[in-house]
Amino acid sequence: MRLKLGFVPLTDAAPLIVAQALGFFADEGLTVELSREVSWATVRDKVAVGALDGAHMLAPMALAANLGLGSEPAPLIAPMALSHNGAAVTLASRLLPAEEPDAAGLARLVRRRKEQDASPLTFAVVFPYSIHNYLLRAWMAQAGIDPDLDVRLTVAPPPRMAELLAGGVIEGFCAGEPWSTAAATRGVGRLAVRAGELWGHAPDKVLGVTDGWAGEDPARLQALVRALLRAAAWADSPAHRAELAHLLAEPQYVGVEAAVIEEGLRHIRFHADGANVPKLQDAAWLLEQMVLWGQAGAGLDIKAAAARVYRPDLFEAATTTPIR
């Protein structure tokens, strides 16, 4: 069976890349072509219209697309979660030169700039519907910064973050690995907080397919989920970290130095603690973030929306069906 799957060059695309490189797709009878994509909107649209069979996706983007937020409504579903805890906030090294890059320090700077009538600081996230947007906002809000009024938020592609930081276009960003470690390695940014530190557990990427594609051939979806599950378990093992970093470093995948990728890998959970089950409470929590920050109306039926997109039943069917 031939499949075309999309991924965005990020460390947490590892399950797809590992399944391809280590032959886990082939073991399930799947011939997969991986397509490297440069933007989340393109990934969403291509899966929605069938130009891709499935993709590595931001969990909130799949939820938003299903609700018709930010695009025409697209029947995207998540039969599997791919990663947790990859997001991190990075501040420009020049921003708080004499102190730790924490939210309280940033709040003092924001207040000082306000008193001086200076322009608001600009921060970038990777997509409006992303854990990165919610992490940056929550981290600011708990220090008393209103992310809608006190700073300017913009969207930029993750590989460009370090360059925007160095060029003074932005003063901080929230993105997935390897981009926070890359900015720190270049000396232009300092890591302020990781999603895992603020929340303990932060759902990040999912496998996104359309409802129709999943229903067309359940055995095909089950084979795909099993291959990715095996790859996620492999990627999660600390014993494979160095080998995984070298694989991801290849130019057709992430294309960043292996040492930088390896450092960031320590903070991502691919498999342990049932991380691959698309849990309804994770979806509900992400939808609550959308309501909290005004992306979705307060009247949103969270339970129904979560259950439409997150499909633990499909995950379970894949893991309990005997392998052909």
Partner 1 sequence: MRVLVVDPDPARAALVAEGLSGVDPLEVRHAAIFDEHEAALFEPDVVVVAADSPDRDTLDSLREASLANPRPVVMFVDRSEPGLAEEAVRAGVAAYVVDGLAAGRVRTVLEVAMSRFALMNQLRQDLEKAKADLASRKTVERAKALLMKERGLEEEEAYKLLRKLSMDTGRPLAAVASDLLAFAGVLKGGKA
Task: Give the interface with partner 1 as residue ranges (CB under 8 A).
Answer: 37-42, 45-46, 48-51, 70-72, 74, 126-128, 153-157, 159-160, 295
Q: Is 115 exposed, middle or buried (0-12, 13-18, 19+ CB in 10 A)?
A: exposed
10 Å Cβ neighbour count for 146? 11
CB of 161 to partner 1, least distance (A): 11
Is the Cβ of residue 127 or residue 310 nearer to partner 1 in the bound state?
127
For partner 1, the closer CB: 29 or 50: 50
Q: What angle do CA 122, 171, 101 make, to 5 degrees?
A: 125
As measured in angstroms, the least distance from the Cβ of 286 to partner 1 is 17
Q: In the complex, what is the shortest distance from the CB of residue 121 to partner 1, in angstroms, rounded to a whole number?
A: 14
Assess contact for 55 and 46: CB atoms under 8 A: yes
Q: Which helix (H) or strand (E) holds 248?
A: helix 241-249
Q: In what order do the strands lie in the sheet with 189-194?
A: 152-155, 122-125, 172-175, 88-92, 189-194
CB of 85 to partner 1, least distance (A): 22
Nearer to partner 1, 46 or 279 (CB): 46
Residue 285 C-alpha from the chain's centroid = 15
Q: Which CB atom, from 4 or from 279, has the smaller least distance to partner 1?
A: 4
Dihedral of the alpha carbons of 209, 214, 218, 221, in degrees to the nearest 10: 0
Per the CB < 8 A criterion, the answer to whether 162 and 182 are in contact is yes
Smallest separation (angstroms) from partner 1 to the CB of 315: 27
Minimum distance of partner 1 from residue 46's CB (angstroms): 7
Q: Which is nearer to partner 1, 153 or 209 (CB)?
A: 153
Nearer to partner 1, 199 or 253 (CB): 253
Contact 124, 153 (CB under 8 A): yes
Q: Which is nearer to partner 1, 48 or 174 (CB)?
A: 48
154 or 237, CB closer to partner 1? 154
> Length of the chain in residues, anyone?
324
At 271, give phi and psi (nearest 5°): -145, -40
Residue 261 and residue 241: Cα distance in Å, rounded?
9
Shortest distance, position 166 Cβ to partner 1, whole Å: 14
Q: Give residue 230's identity as a one-letter amino acid code.
A: R
Taking the complex as a whole, how short is the minimal distance between the CB of residue 118 and partner 1, in angstroms?
16
